[in-house]
Structure 1
Amino acid sequence: MIKSNNPYTQEELYNIEELNEKEINQSIEDADQAFKSWKKTKFSERQKLMLNLAETLESDKKKLAKTITQEMGKPLSQAISEIEKCAWVCEYYTENAESQLADKIIETDAQKSYVSYEPIGVVLAVMPWNYPYWQVFRFLAPQLMAGNVGLLKHASNVMLSAKKIQELVEKAGFPKDVFINLPIKSDQVNKVIQHPKVKAVTLTGSEKAGKAVASEAAKHIKKSVLELGGSNALVVFKDANIDQTLETCVQARFQNTGQSCIAGKRLLIHESLHEEFVDKLITKVKDLKSGDPNDENTFISVMAREDLAEELEKQMQKSVDQGAKIRIGGKRDQAYFEPTILDDVKPGMPVFEEETFGPLLAVTTFKDEKEAIDLVNQSNFGLGVSLFSSDIKAAEDVIVNLEDGAVFINELVKSDPRIPFGGTKTSGYGRELSDDGIMEFINKKTVYIK
């Protein structure tokens, strides 16, 4: 039985009966049967259906957003924005998938030679709760447009969202079983990966989950893509525009109540700016409205589960015991964790070394550019980094020395359908979105005609 509670009201939302092994296998067989015809559909048909899906998302966005808020506590206004972004990724691949997957002609000694980009079949997506629609749609849109079919194993606390996503696909007119939600627990994932009809797997989640999924996929020689979170740095150089940088840093750390893999979690600031910047940052954080996630003015609400807030509290307390100072916040009430700024953070402290998945920002100073680069790269994660400077050329010169998968200058790290998304080191491998994302689960078939 899969159970979930509303993190704000503690009300029990549902008890869902999980699929048994026979039902799982039948779902996989159904998906494979659907693939045999879906892969032959013309792009024009896929485009029509994907555009229908985008329009359905837009028309139902308030209702869908309420489900997100109910299940994991995301403030309603941010939940609506999430649904709108899902419609955007559908529209992006409606417009671009056909050209992205067009045959590539290669000049050789042959009469004709080219690469054909073809779907591989059933792909399993293991997805997290923090963006319950967006994480799924950035997989769903490119893979259905590519001609693949999808199985979804969603997080246990967002099973209503998972159910609604399958219903949305069906409502848009897609053929039955091209996208199937599997209400199963994590201990059943390996059975799905092992099935011979499942050709690949993508996971967004923890490092522990990533290792388990990647190792199982490797045993069966199946492709995997992993996005395993990060500890992104916000690097504020001494010539940064302070007011603009403050606004961006607050958004980067505290949106979605800090529960984002690409949130700016480590604020690395030039020592000459430290006092002024942190004082202004505290003022801005004090102004963030906390409360009922259903209130359209709420910016910070409860975390998705109480155990997640407890874990953040432990990371904070251990860091304080090692010398970090709480400048604002630091208190927890069940699943609610106050927006918090920890100062005097040093390498070796949990809030520097580990991913902090909640509304806590760790502040560390640096003396020069070399020290800033070293602090960024000292993390085991490598998802993204933001650089803040009024000297764009100087900031660009730093990029080659950074080990992350993405670098944003004077902007927070964010996912965008038009550009690839993914990390390095323990943040995972592979890419989502853009041309790279649609190519991850494709047979790049070489054709040579003498």
Structure 2
Amino acid sequence: RSFVTTTKPKSSLNHNLKSVPWALTGDMLNVVTGDDGTINLGKLMSEHPKISKIVFTGSTPTGRRVMQSSAETMKRLTLELGGNDAAIVLPDADPRLIAEGLFWGAFMNNGQTCAAIKRLYVHEAIHDAVCDALVAYAKTVTVGDGMDEGSALGPVQNRMQFDKLSALIEDAKDRGCVLLGGVPGEGLFYPPTIIAGLKNGDALVNEEQFGPALPIISYKNVDEAIAAANDSPNGLGGSIWTANIEQGRKLAARLECGSVWINKHGAIQPNVPFGGHKQSGFGVEFGEEGLAEYTELQAVFS
């Protein structure tokens, strides 16, 4: 059952959700939209005593505000928040075979996906070969108008994110080596950008760019790579790329994140729970466990 229903324009809400006919219609799905600059619908909903459950997908800072404003009513929450997913390429991987998967793991939806590869750790033995293979594949991908059937990637979604992405890339250009891209296009278009020579502590590595930019970090041994991947307040997803599947599974257990993929990244399915660790949120979606998030456990004694 839904908790809010209205088909009226936001001006008719009178800036007060008390005017909305809560749960009186029995409708299964209702949509309320509004400009948070005029009326903070999110805050009104998370504070409202008639709403018993909030499921939020978005940034970690906004997730914190949802928690704060829902605390007074002890509202139950499912939060799927920011990610800064790490992918680790082991030295036994074949750069040519994994290049396409790595690219789309990082640049699906032009990098504007919570569970996309945001940091790529590659063993020093194959670092250059992986860089070369990634760049070669990226050059085959067309960025352009989504109405054009030949376009595979589109623009950054809004000016604020475009400016943040641009600033992170400009900082990275001073610290690493731009292998591809790095120059903004027209409007909000930004080409896939690959930068090597960065490390943990650099802004493009530490912060979630949520756009078409991928930092590649060289490592010497697997323990170093696992530690670097876990050195983040986020823990949404991660991946291991290797020719040895069993080795990949063992390393997966050491990653501090809710989902780990072997030789792919970001693939979710409706029968498998999906959620984050650490500041990437709590609770899960999908699977029986995700359905259980919408239920209350009750024990009856007689």
TM-score by length of 1: 0.62
Partners of 2:24 and 2:256 in 1: CA distance:
42
Distance of aligned partners of 1:208 and 1:270 in 2 relative to their CA distance in 1, 3 Å threshold: same
Superposed, 1:22-171 pairs within 5 Å as 24-29=17-22, 32-35=23-26
The runs of 5 or more residues in structure 1 that have no matched partner are 1-15, 36-176
**Quick check: 2:87–2:120 contact (8 Å CA) kept in 1?**
yes
- For each residue in 1:362-418, what CA deviation from the matched residue of structure 2 results, as whole angstroms up to 9, or x when unmatched? 100111110110111012210010101111111111122211111111111222101
Residue 27 of structure 1 aligns with an amino acid whose one-letter code is V
User: Which residue in the other structure is 1:309 paired with?
Assistant: 162
User: Which residue in the other structure is 2:4 paired with?
Assistant: none
User: Which residue in the other structure is 2:32 paired with?
Assistant: 182
Q: Does 1:443 align with 2:293?
A: no
Partners of 1:23 and 1:295 in 2: CA distance:
43
**Quick check: 2:90–2:242 contact (8 Å CA) kept in 1?**
yes
The runs of 5 or more residues in structure 2 that have no matched partner are 1-8
User: Which residue in the other structure is 1:355 paired with?
Assistant: 208
How well do the aligned residues superpose, as a CA RMSD in angstroms? 1.6
User: Which residue in the other structure is 1:248 paired with?
Assistant: 101
Structure 1 ranges of 4+ moved more than 6 A: none
**Quick check: 1:262–1:383 contact (8 Å CA) kept in 2?**
yes
Q: Does 1:214 align with 2:67?
A: yes
Distance of aligned partners of 1:396 and 1:209 in 2 relative to their CA distance in 1, 3 Å threshold: same
User: Which residue in the other structure is 2:285 paired with?
Assistant: 432
Q: Does 1:273 align with 2:266?
A: no
Query: Kindly, what percent of the aligned residue pairs are identical?
Result: 29
User: Which residue in the other structure is 1:325 paired with?
Assistant: 177
- For each residue in 1:116-160, what CA deviation from the matched residue of structure 2 results, as whole angstroms up to 9, or x when unmatched? xxxxxxxxxxxxxxxxxxxxxxxxxxxxxxxxxxxxxxxxxxxxx
User: Which residue in the other structure is 1:84 paired with?
Assistant: none
User: Which residue in the other structure is 2:6 paired with?
Assistant: none
Partners of 1:362 and 1:211 in 2: CA distance:
27
- Please state how far the C-alpha of 1:238 moved relative to its aligned partner: 0.6
Partners of 1:254 and 1:430 in 2: CA distance:
26
User: Which residue in the other structure is 2:3 paired with?
Assistant: none
Greater helix fraction, Structure 1 or Structure 2: 1
Partners of 1:341 and 1:300 in 2: CA distance:
15
Largest Rg, 1 or 2: 1
- Please state how far the C-alpha of 1:194 moved relative to its aligned partner: 2.3
SS in 1 for 2:201: coil
**Quick check: 1:27–1:180 contact (8 Å CA) kept in 2?**
no
Distance of aligned partners of 1:238 and 1:201 in 2 relative to their CA distance in 1, 3 Å threshold: same
Aligned residues: 290
- Please state how far the C-alpha of 1:21 moved relative to its aligned partner: 4.1
User: Which residue in the other structure is 1:373 paired with?
Assistant: 226
- For each residue in 1:15-70, what CA deviation from the matched residue of structure 2 results, as whole angstroms up to 9, or x when unmatched? x64552467324352xx2345xxxxxxxxxxxxxxxxxxxxxxxxxxxxxxxxxxx
**Quick check: 2:58–2:82 contact (8 Å CA) kept in 1?**
yes
User: Which residue in the other structure is 1:153 paired with?
Assistant: none
